[in-house]
Amino acid sequence: MRREQYLLDGLTKASKVIEIGPGHNPLVPRSAGWNSFSLDHATRADLIAKYAGDPWVDPAKIEEVDFVWHGGSLIDAVPAEHHGTFDAFIASHVIEHTTDVIRFLQAAQSLLRPEGVVILAVPDKRKCFDFYRNPSTTADAIVAYEDKRDRHDARTHIDYGLRVATKGSYPGWFTDDTRPAELLYGLDIAWQMLSYRDVPDYVDAHNWVFVPASFALMMLELGQLRFLDLQVESLVPMPATEFLVRLRPGREPADPDALQARRRTLMERILIELAEQTQQIAGSPLHGPSAHPFLPARGAWWHRWLSAAASRAAALGVLPRGTRPAR
């Protein structure tokens, strides 16, 4: 199933959809007839100015922003008359940037109708610049929630600076890409990122790091602990960079023995997925030759998509400008 087909499955252009952070690459553009509403961190004019001169961004694709988020819960950025009215909540490569993943998903619940769906595209650390970072845990999510965190903490900025990596100039790649993942920053630059904790304005970062099973485990545990009323309906790993998720209201059955078995299975799966990551590393017992080591051979569609993702990451400050494929 193609990416767009999965993300938009079950929706029609009459469905009322809110897309979070569509930027210059909306999935459900109003110009294509979708009954869509957008929420972003800036107005259309500001977004056009931000991406000015970027060869990978077509400013004509940036649509008017319905709701501008200025911090705090997303729910506060959306007028009350829209609460509980959306058929779908779409966020592509957004959840990893949130300071408080629980409140982000609680806002999604509040915006959706009872039968609504949360649709997410999430970076897979095995196939993106989070390659050397450790997966986030349910404990991390609960601490951020209890702290009412609205800025990324010192640990996030330091961990990013110490461990972020690219393959060539690419922020994302295919599973069988055996090129080494090169660290982007030296220790001196990484240490300087500690100062971001003292900046009064929001400084962006990849805060949440996942493999598919670690995301599924976090959703299961947050549901059972009554932080969320959402469960994974489906989760699909993609060939490069990401996995796709659909969440529906409800919780998995809470039989204690079954719950413990499910948690254990997901924890074991996390270890398997991390072991699979080592296939990309020379010298690993699981390392094997790549049939297609370089991304351009994989087709123009993925090349364009990853280029757009790199442009967005650079504009947000998550990666330096220039960290993208050469034209």
Helix/strand/coil (H/E/C) assignment for every residue in 208-229: CCCCHHHHHHHHHHHHHCCCCC
Q: In this structure, what are the phi and psi dihedrals at residue 20, rounded to the nearest 5 degrees?
A: -95, 125
Helix (H) or strand (E) holding 263: helix 256-277
Neighbour order of strands in the sheet with 67-68: 67-68, 36-40, 17-20, 86-92, 112-123, 242-249, 230-237
| Structural domains of the chain, with CATH | 3-316 (3.40.50.150)
310 φ/ψ angles, rounded to the nearest 5 degrees: -65, -40
DSSP 8-state symbol, 239: S
Nearest Cα to 218, choosing from 150, 274, 270, 275? 270
Contact 242, 172 (CB under 8 A): yes
> In this predicted structure, what is the pLDDT of residue 316?
44
The dihedral through the CA atoms of 15, 21, 25, 29 has a sign that is positive
Whose structure tokens read 């970027």?
A: 54
**What gap in Å lies between CA 199 and CA 150, rounded to an integer?**
13
- Cα separation of the two ends of the chain: 28
Q: pLDDT tens across 293-327, in order?
A: 444 444 444 445 454 554 444 444 445 544 443 22
Per-residue model confidence (pLDDT) at position 159? 96
Tens digits of residue pLDDT in 73-100:
899 999 999 999 999 999 999 999 999 9
Task: Note the pTM of the prediction, 2 decimals.
Answer: 0.88
Asked if 154 and 184 touch (Cβ cutoff 8 Å), the reply is no
Q: Which residue shows structure tokens 């095995």?
A: 126
**Residue 306, C-beta contacts closer than 8 angstroms, at least 6 positions apart:** 170, 171, 172, 240, 241, 295, 325
CA 118, 78, 98, 324 torsion-angle sign: positive
Dist. CA 180–CA 296, nearest whole Å: 17
Question: Can you give the pLDDT at residue 251?
Answer: 87
Supply the pLDDT for residue 299: 45
Please, what is the Cα angle at 65 between 63 and 70, to 5 degrees? 145
Quote the pLDDT of residue 1: 61
**What does the pLDDT read at residue 290?**
46
Tokens encoding 12: 């029609």
Ranges in the chain, pLDDT < 70: 1, 287-327
Give the Å distances, CA to CA, from 17 to 37, 115, 266, 293. Answer: 6, 13, 31, 38
Cα Rg of the chain (Å, integer) = 19
